[in-house]
Structure 1
Amino acid sequence: MTDSVFVFSEDQLKYKFNSHHPFNQQRLELTLDLLRKIGAISDQQIVLPRMATDEELLLIHDPNYVNAVKLASIGELPEGVADNYGLGTEDTPIFPNMHEASSFLVGGTLTAVDYVMSGKANHALNLGGGLHHGFRGKASGFCIYNDSSVAIKYMQEKYHARVLYVDTDAHHGDGVQWSFYDDPNVCTLSIHETGRYLFPGTGNINERGQGPGYGTKFNIPLDAFTEDESFIDSYKVALQEICDFFKPDVILTQNGADSHYLDPLTHLSATMKIYREIPKLAHKMAHQFCDGRWIAVGGGGYDIWRVVPRAWAMVWLEMTENSNYFGNLPKDWLDKWQPLAPITLPPEWDDPADLYPPIPRKMEITEKNAQTVDKALYPIKNRKKSVL
């Protein structure tokens, strides 16, 4: 068994709405090149994604929707019909071969799943995945097909697994949550910026699941301007409690890198500190509860130059127990990409202490987030009391 595999091919770069769209898969190249420049990945660890089949897409997506995406891909979907499916909007504009490009992202996550669930690898990373806003019959928030939802259903059907899905993207993992809202064998945890200020506006603590799935869906909406310590505390308390309660067979983490202070689309004040801690605890929990079975995908992250490569590199470095990287970024990486970057690249792995001015409401925000975690975990704590 190999310990970890990294799913990537040039096909994943074809998921491209247009040249000025914030969702830019050049992030994948920047991250992989950074890992290569520090000698942290070998060609033997890289595995090629495949294209998801229609049958696999239909595990989650409506046949009419998949057909609409196929028609849109070849320019044959009428505008009025496209609207019904969330296609051709500002967020998800139509682009040529959209179906094929989207299917490769889903297939990449399914490739990661098969490596881990068949025992060929302990951990697998598909940074091209993480498109958590896709719905059964509608595109949303830069996401055409929802690779994580398809992957979870695939794991249930093929491997009969109890799946814990953990989403640390600044945006609520709505598509995945609603896909399994009444399913008690899928537990979802989303830690995100409160929907009061941010798309998609959902992810309140009272979204706990329904019917047999009630009490297996957890949301921690953090206050705007939340800083590292509060984010990490919220994440650690929640993930440990939930793992202990749910006892998953496998953990699937969505690693959006848009909670960073520099991200242009969100309002949190995290730094690289959280991106060191997020994969560390996921890795630990996977070994504690799941015999090491950990699948990770990418997600949001819209400062593709200064934030995403460093944050995503940390996931792979943790997976391969190689996370002791501090100090300067490799000079040859900076020399290669700085001429192409519209902004100055950071010289180091970590952010400077004075990245932003002090947040005046720090204590208030920290206290509020701690109360939110407490309320979010109420079903677990209540159950423990009733057992006693």
Structure 2
Amino acid sequence: MSGRAQLMWDEAVTGYDFGPGHPMDPVRLSLTMRLVEALGLHKAMDVVAARPAGESTLRLVHRQDYIEAVRTASSDPRAADASYGLGTADDPAFAGMHDAAALIAGQSVGAAEAVWRGDARHAVNFAGGLHHAMPGAASGFCVYNDAALAVARLLELGAERVAYVDVDVHHGDGVQAAFWEDPRVLTVSLHEHPHTLFPQTGWPEETGAPGAEGSAVNVALPAGTGDAGWLRAFHAVVPELLAAFRPQVLVTQHGADTHFEDPLAHLTVSLDAQRMVAEACHALAHEHAGGRWVALGGGGYAVVDVVPRAWAHLCAVAAGRPVDPESGVPEEWRDEVFRRTRQLGPLRMTDGLRPAWRDFAASGYDPADRLDQAVLATRRAVFPSHGLLP
């Protein structure tokens, strides 16, 4: 196995563009890559462009009629069929949509292949993590579900146990749906509570189909949860489950929209806590999955202040070249930000916080704390299926 990490990148992924005013602005991808380059991280990684996912690969998750509907809308956006979630406010049809979405999917599938075959220990596709797309419909800015396709490809290559951990602010509903009946895949999602955020799913009681009980894990966090609660919930659920499940590969989704500046959600997590969770996922991959780690991007709509720094840290962790949070943001990158957006970029690679949390097992359950109530609900729902005490 190569000691270097792979960074999946093709500038053409920025063609995944729903148009002016849409929150999923592709500038967040190009600015992330420019920051990775300005920090010199690309020199510590193998930068690789994979081919777009072909139809046989897309069919690992998506229905043929849906793929055909995407192709039709891609050729003529006016012909988009809303019954497939296309041509909606969330997922407007645009020319070339199929090609752009298939290219992003191809990068995640390529990342999974590289890690499984030992070409790389870790692989990152920050353009990916489009976790809402369903087998037969677009949803939540997501056309093809690259995260589910990466997991499905790992299974096709012979993996017997794959763990998927999603820390996006929104429930990883499309990935959960794809593997709802498959006990080979453990899907774990930490997200804002369904009462207050799209897609209104991800309740702790959603635990998998009969025969796959405990394979779906959902931690529904109260709106307003910040660093201490977010980290407490992550460490109260994820490490024990991974130790029990013993995955051969860890796939993680790192949506940056948990951040307190994100305009579309209501958690109050800092960039510094996001970096700490990336570090925790890296450590867990080495502890439980032989170091095999596929890391994806996801949501994130503070496209200048948050997303590029969050995913640059993710790349740095994967590359084994962590960036000192107190270090300054390279001036040439801030110049690029102003040229592209007429906004002033952040000055440092930190929000200036030093997050800490109380360990759930050591400190005990507080029945009056809404965060602890959420954690305990999840542990009670799924831990017994894995032979663990709630």
The TM tier, using the shorter chain, reads over 0.9
Q: 2:377 corresponds to which residue? A: 375
Q: Deviations over 1:324-357 (max 9, x none)?
A: 4222211221122124335432211111469xxx
Q: Deviations over 1:100-133 (max 9, x none)?
A: 1111011010110111000010000011111100
Instruction: Report how many aligned residue pairs link the two structures.
Output: 376
For residues 257 and 92 of structure 1, the distance between their equivalents in structure 2, rounded to whole angstroms, comes to: 20
For residues 274 and 199 of structure 2, the distance between their equivalents in structure 1, rounded to whole angstroms, comes to: 23
Q: 1:19 corresponds to which residue? A: 20
For residues 259 and 5 of structure 1, the distance between their equivalents in structure 2, rounded to whole angstroms, comes to: 25
Q: How does 1:108-257 map to 2 (within 5 A)?
A: 108-257=107-256
Q: CA deviation at 1:383?
A: 5.2
Q: CA deviation at 1:244?
A: 1.2
Secondary structure in structure 2 of the residue aligned to 1:125 = strand
Q: CA deviation at 1:319?
A: 0.8
Q: CA deviation at 1:197?
A: 1.2
Q: Deviations over 1:45-99 (max 9, x none)?
A: 10012110101101111111101111111117745xx011010000000000111
- Structure 2 contact 126–298 (Cα < 8 Å) conserved: yes
Secondary structure in structure 1 of the residue aligned to 2:121 = strand
Could you list the runs of 5+ residues in structure 1 that have no partner in the other structure?
355-363
Secondary structure in structure 1 of the residue aligned to 2:176 = helix
RMSD: 2.0
Q: CA deviation at 1:366?
A: 9.2
Q: Aligned partner of 1:205: which letter?
A: P
Using the aligned pairs only, state the percent identity. 35
For residues 253 and 129 of structure 2, the distance between their equivalents in structure 1, rounded to whole angstroms, comes to: 6
Q: CA deviation at 1:154?
A: 1.3
Q: 2:5 corresponds to which residue? A: 4
For residues 269 and 74 of structure 2, the distance between their equivalents in structure 1, rounded to whole angstroms, comes to: 37
- Structure 2 contact 84–138 (Cα < 8 Å) conserved: yes
Secondary structure in structure 2 of the residue aligned to 1:45 = strand
Secondary structure in structure 1 of the residue aligned to 2:4 = strand
Q: Aligned partner of 1:351: which letter?
A: D
For residues 291 and 83 of structure 1, the distance between their equivalents in structure 2, rounded to whole angstroms, comes to: 43
Q: CA deviation at 1:159?
A: 2.4
Q: 2:290 corresponds to which residue? A: 291
Q: CA deviation at 1:149?
A: 1.1
The reply on whether 1:88 has 2:67 as its aligned counterpart is no
1:385–1:109 CA distance, 2 compared to 1 (3 A): closer
- Structure 1 contact 265–302 (Cα < 8 Å) conserved: yes
- Structure 1 contact 117–159 (Cα < 8 Å) conserved: no
Secondary structure in structure 1 of the residue aligned to 2:268 = coil
Q: CA deviation at 1:294?
A: 0.2
Q: 2:362 corresponds to which residue? A: none
Secondary structure in structure 2 of the residue aligned to 1:156 = helix
For residues 77 and 341 of structure 1, the distance between their equivalents in structure 2, rounded to whole angstroms, comes to: 29
Q: 1:101 corresponds to which residue? A: 100
Could you list the runs of 5+ residues in structure 2 that have no partner in the other structure?
355-365
